[in-house]
């Protein structure tokens, strides 16, 4: 299996309260962050933007094959996972977040290859000791029923969802740099990003 048979979903529905604005509105090197990510991944399969009510159509949304919107605002990334799986036409969805600008295509392809080799799994996440890093991850289409039940129970944390799904952690190869998991949560993170790249965030 290759990327052409896997949907790439980017979650961009958060409010970005610590950042001061929705992260889907950030710009990297003069272009929308969503355009930057799509250019970085150069994905050969379907692409999907997952947004939320009130934050639809952020800059760069038109570059995706489709945008899907969570039916309810404020339910977090668990709802985003379910929205992606409900709307995907492929058997696997690899998911990353708009606030991880240094994730590379290599990580996504690695997850595809690992799940393809274990088709009985509901999904996989990358394992980093001492850190819970939910993105990027990959989910099988069949996981949507369990996610829906989990969401209906009132649980919204990704850690509890991953336990329910029994998502298998896969050890990240040692040669991958830690910078891959640079997370843009607040303005200080932007400074960190600028230190290790030639890009500036606006």
Residue with tokens 């039940």: 149
Can you give the pTM of this predicted structure? 0.92
Mean pLDDT of 55-61: 91
Predicted confidence (pLDDT) at residue 18 exceeds the cutoff of 80: no
Give 108-145 pLDDT, tens digit per residue: 999 999 998 888 889 888 876 666 678 899 999 999 99
- Residue 193 CA, chain-centre distance (Å), reads 18
Q: How far apart are CA 51 and CA 158, in angstroms?
A: 17
Q: Which domains occur in the chain, in start order?
A: 3-196 (3.90.550.10)
Average pLDDT, the chain: 87
| pLDDT attached to residue 88 | 96
Where b means 16+ CB within 10 Å and e means fewer, 44-81 reads ebbbbbbbbeebeebebbeebeebbbbeeeebbbbbbb
Give 62-110 pLDDT, tens digit per residue: 999 999 999 987 778 889 999 999 999 999 999 999 999 999 999 999 9
Residue 41 · residue 108 · CB < 8 Å: yes
Residue with tokens 């999904």: 123
């Amino acid at each position: 299996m290759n990327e052409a048979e896997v949907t790439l979903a980017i979650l961009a529905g958060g409010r970005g309260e610590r950042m001061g604005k929705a992260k889907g509105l950030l710009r990297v090197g003069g272009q929308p962050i969503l355009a930057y990510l799509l250019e970085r991944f150069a994905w050969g399969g379907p692409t999907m933007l997952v947004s939320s009510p009130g934050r639809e159509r952020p800059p760069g949304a038109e570059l995706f094959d489709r945008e899907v919107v969570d039916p309810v605002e404020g339910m977090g990334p668990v709802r985003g996972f379910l929205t992606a799986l409900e709307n995907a036409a492929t058997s696997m969805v690899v998911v990353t977040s708009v606030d991880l600008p240094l994730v590379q295509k290599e990580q996504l392809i690695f997850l595809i290859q690992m799940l393809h080799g274990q088709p009985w799994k509901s999904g996989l996440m990358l394992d980093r000791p001492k850190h819970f890093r939910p993105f990027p991850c990959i989910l099988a289409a069949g996981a949507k029923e369990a996610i829906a039940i989990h969401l209906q129970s009132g649980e919204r944390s990704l850690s509890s969802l991953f336990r329910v799904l029994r998502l298998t952690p896969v050890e990240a190869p040692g040669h991958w740099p830690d910078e891959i998991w640079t997370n843009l949560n607040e303005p200080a993170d932007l400074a960190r990003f600028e230190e290790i790249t030639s890009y500036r965030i606006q």
